[in-house]
Structure 1
Amino acid sequence: MLTPMPASLLLLLLPLLLLLLCRSCFCQYSSDQCSWKGSGLTHEGHARDVEQVYLRCSQGSLEWLYPTGAIIVNLRPNTVSPAAARLSVCIKPAAGSSGTNIYLDRNGKLRLLLRDQDQAQRKVQCFSIQEGALFIEAVVHTDIGRRITAFQYELVSDRLGPQAHVGGAPCQPCSDAEVLLAVCTNDFVARGSIEKLEKEEEHSSVTVELRRLYRQKTQVFAPGGVRVRRWTGHIKMSLQCGVRSGEGEFLFTGTVRFGEAWMGCAPRYKDFLRLYGEAQRQGTNPCHMDTD
């Protein structure tokens, strides 16, 4: 006959049972395969532990509290199409991110991507998905301060190369075919004018006023008028782009990266109408656009 366990002994064993349970479940969640959150406290006494993390969405986030040991983050799209091999990965550290060095791990060879002290600058880092997984290694500190390594990630087209997503696409004229394709595939397409140009440390930013908003992936442009339908917003671009304000009407196209609009092809609207009309007559338009 089994003797019931005394209540006092059960209370003493409960913390130990909870700790063992926490270790067995790795204290992480990733219910939608897009984001991961974990705690290095589960590595206490096992500082050389390395965990594998698998993320299979086009965008998401990672948050690692009290980093200890290392984690390997495998970023892969949830598809097996050949285009998946031609993607870039961009990561943007969160404010206050620290506690680790971030490497690219390709077949056991590490390349430093972000040092611990550099994460506070929140600079976007991009690399080809073929370059490997992220190896995130905790930095040993003598104090017991609270540290969190956190970043957002996005998978983007590799057509212009990874660095095109760091400081914007290179400033070179788009061909007619590239303009027409951008209208069909870019994250935003809008017609309007440049109101103001500001030069920042690593890029330029233009304030635009839009007469027509054909498409936007996220709400990067906001309504700017009541009686007359207008939108306003900011578009970032490389410092090398020779853009000026007050020079007529443009068709703006581009991508959205971490909630910010980046300029792609931006022909004058009259030039776009010419090439669009010509493509219509030849039957070579990749998609239809209302130009009225």
Structure 2
Amino acid sequence: MRSGAGCSRWIVLLSLLESARATYSEDQCSWRGSGLSQQAGSVEQIALHCAEGSLDWLYPKGALRLSLSPRLPSGAVGPGGAGRNSEHITACIKPAETFRGAQIYLERDGILELLVPDRLDGPRPPRVHCFSRQPGEKVALFLQATPHQDISRRIAAFRYELRGHWNTRLSVDTDTVHYEGACRPCNDTEVLMAVCTSDFVVRGNIRSVSNDIDLHVSIIRVSASRIFRQKYALFSNGGRLSRAGEIRTLLQCGVKPGPGSFLFTGRVHFGEAWLGCAPRFKDFRQAYEDARDARELPCELALD
């Protein structure tokens, strides 16, 4: 019996050691590891190099310091080009619903700012938090394990997204960042550029608008008559001649239902569509035709 019990203990120990090994995804977009392999008071250095990915810290113990330095594609940087904006990074993190056992700090030039507290039995779901890194700034995420006698069932996990010089129209739910000008109507130049660079470009009508006061967002339900582009399957079958989908925007923008056809453009953040430019379709068509006649189109769209 002793021999069997000893063998079982070794199997459990080997299993724990195996789970404690930190692993990177092959493209260094994600990291998964365990605090069981860390010494008390230690800080493990982690670097990820993708525009989006995830981190899963099982049984948090000690601390992690995460450096995010994506190799951004040329299309991710702003209109000024890679030379001017390549060091300007906007990042957003979305903690998992089951985030437990650690706190996330933003480390900016040696100063720590709490972004995500430890959710023991928090009544509200974790929110998306965003921050920017200006050229020359040293920015990292610092994860500090919170002491608990029982570390089982505690996993500090989150997803992240990074882009180059996102403009002020980036619309995400956040407690700490406010984007000036997010509700300002786009001019013709911005609309035509949005058609080229957005994750989705859809013609449709507003079916309804609902407001989530807690999350500070408005949810626009759209009936899409034509999908020019969508990065993910955002719009599903909503009828014989249309598809239905939801687009989010900031509550402060005061979006209301209205008649007419619109061209909806925007970005996808953590699987959700967020509104960018949304002119009436007839206004977009006029701007598009004027730019085409002047040979100033940044890209073409098959309108007919």
- TM-score band (shorter)? 0.7 to 0.9
Which 4+ residue blocks in structure 1 deviate beyond 6 angstroms? none
Report if aligned partners of 2:29, 2:53 keep a CA contact under 8 Å in 1: yes
Instruction: Name the CA distance, whole Å, in 2 between partners of 1:159 and 1:62.
Output: 23
Larger Rg: 1
State the SS of the aligned residue for 1:178.
helix
3-state DSSP of counterpart to 1:48:
coil
Q: Does 1:195 align with 2:202?
A: no
- Counterpart in 2 of 1:75? 68
* 1:66 and 2:52 matched: no
Alpha-carbon separation, structure 1, partners of 2:128 and 2:107: 18
Task: Select which of 236, 248, 256 maps to 1:222.
Answer: 236
Distance 1:157 1:221, change over 3 A: farther
Structure 1 residue 36 corresponds to structure 2 residue 48: no
The number of residues matched between the two structures is 278
User: Is the 1:128–1:158 Cα contact (8 Å) retained in structure 2?
Assistant: no
> Which residue of 136, 155, 167 corresponds with 1:160?
167
The answer to whether structure 1 residue 259 and structure 2 residue 266 are counterparts is no
Counterpart contact for 2:172–2:249, Cα < 8 Å: no
Q: Secondary structure at the match of 2:300?
A: coil
Deviation of 1:246 after TM superposition, in Å, equals 3.9
Q: Which of 242-251 and 200-209 deviates more?
A: 242-251
| Aligned residue number for residue 147 of structure 2 | 140
Give 1:240's match in structure 2, choosing from 252, 256, 265: 252
Q: Partner letter of residue 24 of structure 2?
A: S
Distance 1:119 1:75 in 2: 30
- Choose the corresponding residue for 1:124, options 101, 107, 128: 128
Instruction: Tell me the secondary structure at the aligned position of residue 116 of structure 1.
Output: coil
Q: Which residue of 2 aligns with 1:56?
A: 49
Q: Secondary structure at the match of 1:153?
A: strand
Q: Which runs of 5+ in 1 are unaligned?
A: 1-7
- Following the alignment from structure 1 to structure 2, what is the Cα–Cα distance between the partners of residues 206 and 191? 14
Greater displacement, 56-65 / 141-150: 141-150
Alpha carbons of structure 1 residues 289 and 124: separation in structure 2 relative to 1, 3 Å: same
Query: CA RMSD of the aligned region, Å?
Result: 2.8
Q: Any conservation in 2 of the 1:254–1:265 contact (CA below 8 Å)?
A: yes
In structure 2, stretches of 5+ residues that fail to align are 74-81
Q: Percent identity?
A: 45
TM-score, structure 2 normalization: 0.82
**Aligned-partner residue type, residue 149 of structure 1:** A
SS, match of residue 112 in structure 1:
strand
- So what's the TM-score if we normalise by structure 1? 0.86
